[in-house]
Chains A and B, each alone.
Chain A
């Protein structure tokens, strides 16, 4: 009758849970605590010379599993700041409606031009709010706080940060 003890144990455990406080957060009515590494939208950044960092290499477009990134590559031309030839992107769009937030685009970017941001509120339910054009992506650079780990350092950072309340 080895089955009796596990049965009694199970009954004891569920009974103990009866007196426990529910862990439910009444989300739309109560604010939810965000984890330290929580992030939800993107930004394109400028490099140290104040130029658009994106070189239009299309690596992010190719790696994107849900194919939401579109990059229009421009011809290589000289950088006004350094005088060296480099690539440029004519256009860059990212559709958050189908984005699965895998962050592969951030990891694959050779120049760390695309980063994730910590928006304090969800970006909104309207479809046009979720479609990030190039200008909106550059506007996010300074408008929103950066995710704690960005760019190629993501690949190196396999140690999870400690979660704290936002």
Chain B
């Protein structure tokens, strides 16, 4: 291990490096998304700033930094300033427990899955904070929708994440990855419950991150821009960034829980493991983009119907099947 043995120093160094890297990756992921969406719609995407628009994220960041920072007169100022910052911090929190390679994890918690789900559930806090502090009816409605949605979808998300936990017999993400070693990824092994759980988890994590097609808290056609209506400049940029970070970290967790994390063919090298992990995360993130640029936004009541009438019972059934499988079928389960 090339990292210091003091756990606090280890977490600090690795955390700063990983978070900086993730923010850089995020800004180029936005470039990738714009190119991807462009090609999907027969357009070319960003083209003019740098080769094939590669400098566009930097130009956008400068544009956002130079914009006027407007605060509504009647806003709750401390909360208004705090919300975008908290949004990014909360979105980045999940990185702490995701193992990039064997041993390469900021905090190897025994309750990693629980920590991640708790951190994910906390995204509702800055969203609601922004909605309340803006003193704007659209922001308020958006904030209330975000709360309803996140609280509802937290439940099927937990059910989806519990299936790998049952199979691996541990909430430690490193052990979950170890249980999938050799290509026995929980997505297809054991066949059935893993795949269903992955679908439920993916849908729920899209909804929890307020991504299209579940972006009703910022439904542009109804709510101007939802919770970020009153935000300008870099504060708006931070909400934007937080949404993408949340999506990438969610993809990373999906890759860890269902796609075997850093498991892949080839020699057991740290660098290769990181590459496998990055490839899987990008594949999941691209799949999310594919969904985003294909489907239209659900209505509020359809969203709740999907959660309470379909995902929740399906999650319970899948959980039951997984538990029975883990108890009675001998093999690669703890």
State the Cβ distance, A20 to closest chain B Cβ, in Å: 6
**A11 touching B294 by the CB < 8 A rule?**
yes
Q: Which of B38, B43, B47, B294 interacts with A14 by CB under 8 Å?
A: B294
**B38 touching A11 by the CB < 8 A rule?**
no
> Chain A contacts of B43 at CB under 8 A?
22-24
Cα separation A14 to B293 with both chains bound (whole Å): 8
**A10 touching B294 by the CB < 8 A rule?**
yes
Is B295 part of the contact surface with A, judged by Cβ < 8 Å? yes
**B40 touching A24 by the CB < 8 A rule?**
no
Cα separation A118 to B295 with both chains bound (whole Å): 42
> Chain B contacts of A13 at CB under 8 A?
294
CB-CB contacts below 8 Å: B47-94 with A: 47
Q: Which of B36, B38, B42, B295 interacts with A10 by CB under 8 Å?
A: B295
**B39 touching A18 by the CB < 8 A rule?**
yes
Is B3 part of the contact surface with A, judged by Cβ < 8 Å? no
Is A17 part of the contact surface with B, judged by Cβ < 8 Å? yes
Residue of B nearest to A11 (CB): B294
Cα separation A15 to B291 with both chains bound (whole Å): 10
Is A81 part of the contact surface with B, judged by Cβ < 8 Å? no
State the Cβ distance, A80 to closest chain B Cβ, in Å: 59
Is B324 part of the contact surface with A, judged by Cβ < 8 Å? no
Cα separation A156 to B291 with both chains bound (whole Å): 49
Is B308 part of the contact surface with A, judged by Cβ < 8 Å? no
- Mask for A1-24, Cβ within 8 A of B = 1, else 0? 000000100110111011010111
- Tell me how many residues of A have a C-beta within 8 Å of chain B: 13
**A24 touching B42 by the CB < 8 A rule?**
yes
Is B41 part of the contact surface with A, judged by Cβ < 8 Å? yes
State the Cβ distance, B203 to closest chain A Cβ, in Å: 11
CB-CB contacts below 8 Å: B270-294 with A: 290-291, 293-294
> Chain B contacts of A7 at CB under 8 A?
295
> Chain B contacts of A22 at CB under 8 A?
38-39, 42-44
Q: Which of B38, B44, B47, B290 interacts with A15 by CB under 8 Å?
A: B290
Cα separation A24 to B47 with both chains bound (whole Å): 11
Cα separation A10 to B40 with both chains bound (whole Å): 12
**A17 touching B40 by the CB < 8 A rule?**
yes
**A20 touching B42 by the CB < 8 A rule?**
yes
**A17 touching B39 by the CB < 8 A rule?**
yes
**B41 touching A17 by the CB < 8 A rule?**
yes
> Chain A contacts of B44 at CB under 8 A?
22, 24, 26
State the Cβ distance, B297 to closest chain A Cβ, in Å: 14
**A11 touching B40 by the CB < 8 A rule?**
no
> Chain A contacts of B42 at CB under 8 A?
17, 20, 22-24
Residue of B nearest to A9 (CB): B294
> Chain A contacts of B38 at CB under 8 A?
22
Cα separation A38 to B232 with both chains bound (whole Å): 42
Cα separation A15 to B36 with both chains bound (whole Å): 10
Cα separation A128 to B295 with both chains bound (whole Å): 48
CB-CB contacts below 8 Å: A24-62 with B: 24, 26
- Mask for B216-259, Cβ within 8 A of A = 1, else 0? 00000000000000000000000000000000000000000000
CB-CB contacts below 8 Å: B8-47 with A: 36, 38-44, 47
**A18 touching B40 by the CB < 8 A rule?**
yes
State the Cβ distance, B38 to closest chain A Cβ, in Å: 7
- Mask for A125-152, Cβ within 8 A of B = 1, else 0? 0000000000000000000000000000
- Taking A10-B294, A14-B294, A24-B42 as given, write out 6 further A-B residue pairs in contact, using a Cβ cutoff of 8 Å, ordered by the A residue number: A11-B291, A13-B294, A17-B39, A17-B41, A22-B38, A26-B47
Interface of A with B (CB < 8 Å)? 7, 10-11, 13-15, 17-18, 20, 22-24, 26
20 A–B contacts from the bound complex (CB under 8 Å) = A7-B295, A10-B294, A10-B295, A11-B291, A11-B294, A14-B290, A14-B293, A14-B294, A17-B39, A17-B40, A17-B41, A17-B42, A20-B42, A22-B42, A22-B43, A22-B44, A24-B42, A24-B43, A26-B44, A26-B47
